[in-house]
Amino acid sequence: MGDSIRVGQRGTVVLPAQLRRQFGMEEGAMIIAEAVDDGILLRPAVVLPVERYSDARKAEFLLNNAIGPDEYVWAVGEVRRMGLDPDAIPHERPLA
Task: Judge whether 75 lies within some domain.
Answer: yes
Residue 8 is predicted with a pLDDT of 92
User: How do residues 7-64 score in pLDDT, each as one tens digit?
Assistant: 999 999 999 999 889 988 889 899 999 999 999 999 888 888 998 999 999 999 999 9
Please determine, for residue 95, whether its predicted confidence score (pLDDT) is greater than 90. no
Is 4 inside any structural domain? no
Q: Which domain holds residue 19?
A: 9-44
In this structure, the answer to whether residues 36 and 59 fall within a common structural domain is: no
Do 36 and 63 belong together in one domain? no
Angle at 81 between CA 86 and CA 55, to 5 degrees: 65
Between CA 1 and CA 58 the distance in angstroms is 52
Interatomic CA distance for residues 22 and 54, integer angstroms: 40
Going by C-alpha positions, the residue among 1, 40, 45, 8 that lies closest to residue 24 is 45
Cβ pair 24, 52 in contact under 8 A: no
In a domain, 31, yes or no: yes
Same-domain check for residues 13 and 40: yes
How much is the pTM? Answer: 0.51
